Structures are given as C-alpha cells and as structure tokens.
Amino acid sequence: MALHKLRRFVGTIAELVDKAPPERELIEHGLAVLRELVREDDWLPDAFAVPSHEHYQQYLLHADARQRFSVVSFVWGPGQQTPVHDHTVWGLIGVLRGAEYTQPYARDASGVLHAHGPEILLARGAVEAVSPTIGDIHRVRNAYDDRASISIHVYGANIGAVRRSTWQADGHTKPFISGYSNTVLPNLWDLSKESAVS
C-alpha cells in the first residue's frame, strides 16, 4: 500500500491552503495535484473503499487540524446517487475507480432551481471542481449499475461538519450535516513500516 502518496498529497494541499491564493488559483493548482493522486490506484486502504448496499459511503481520510480542508473517499455502490445538494465551500473531485455522472444545477433569476446543462461523465482519472462562485449545486451518481465507483474529494472545510442543504424538486431546501461513514482514520504518520525509498 503506497500510503505515502496520500501523505504527500495532504502536505501539498496544506501548503497550498497556507498560501491562501485566490480561489481560482487554489482550484487550478488543487485539481492538478488531485489529478496526480487519482492517476494511480495503489494507495487507498481497503477499509476506506468498502461500499454499502444501503447508500453511498463518505470516508474521511484526513481533516486539517484547523478545519481548513478535508480529504474524503466517496464509495458509490451500484446505482447509488446523492440528492441534489450544495457544498457552501470550494471542492475538488477526482475519480479513482469506475466512473460517475454529475448533473449541475443553477437558480434562474426568480430563484427556481433547474438542471444546468447535460449530465457530465467523469471517467477514471477525471477531475472537476465546485464552489459557490463557479457552481455549487449538483447531483452525483455512480455511472454503473453493476459495480462500485470511488471518487476522492477535497473540500475547503471539514465537510462532514458543514451545514449544507439538499434541494427538493419544488425548490424547497432541507438542511443537513453529512458526517462521515468511518470512526477511524488511516494512519498517515507511522513511517516505521515504510522503506526509506518511499
């Protein structure tokens, strides 16, 4: 297990957040390093890649000590999807295994929510971003009905503790706080089991 790749990724995102660049620059650089992370599928521990028959899983991989960002693996069982929802913070998404569809939504001048363009297929290795400034409301679903897919997400907060909203077809919103599916984190900091060349 090449867990050092996740550790290096977390360090790079922390350095980026420390610099506090404009959001556009943060997203651009963040997507580049996320694209590198999801290019190879040899680092995600098995415990954070387990689907559920009931609903998609949101496994916390790392939360910044000051809650400035979090890294999460989303595991989509066959045919699973989110409701239409927002984030309220910037987010980066990279597909590690399988594929997923994302359907962006936007409010019109009267505030009514509509699908904004067609569904977008994100195949393995693809990355995208969301934020309140570039588009924050979407629905995500596994592209497959017969297998799991996994995407890695980075958010500009401890996303499991952020008060967000789901959007109903009639335009009403329902507040939620997602939490996480796991109670333990991968140990990124035990270097005793890694060789010096890692």
* DSSP, res 110: T
The pLDDT tens digits for 101-160 are 999 998 888 878 889 999 999 999 999 999 999 999 999 999 999 999 999 999 999 999
Inter-residue contact 151 to 59 (CB < 8 Å): no
Instruction: Say if 196 falls within a structural domain.
Output: no
Which H/E stretch holds residue 2?
none
Instruction: Say if 197 falls within a structural domain.
Output: no
Reduced to 3 states (helix: H, G, I; strand: E, B; else coil), residue 79 is: coil
At residue 14, what are phi and psi to the nearest 5 degrees?
-60, -45
Q: What CATH number is given to the structural domain containing 9?
A: 2.60.120.10
How many domains does the chain contain in total? 1
Instruction: Say if 192 falls within a structural domain.
Output: no
Domain span at residue 165? Answer: 4-185
Instruction: Say if 194 falls within a structural domain.
Output: no
Provide the whole-model pTM.
0.94
Instruction: Say if 97 falls within a structural domain.
Output: yes
Instruction: Say if 112 falls within a structural domain.
Output: yes
Q: What count of residues does the chain have?
A: 198
Q: How far apart are CA 75 and CA 89, in angstroms?
A: 21
Instruction: Say if 193 falls within a structural domain.
Output: no
**Which amino acid, one-letter code, is at 50?**
V
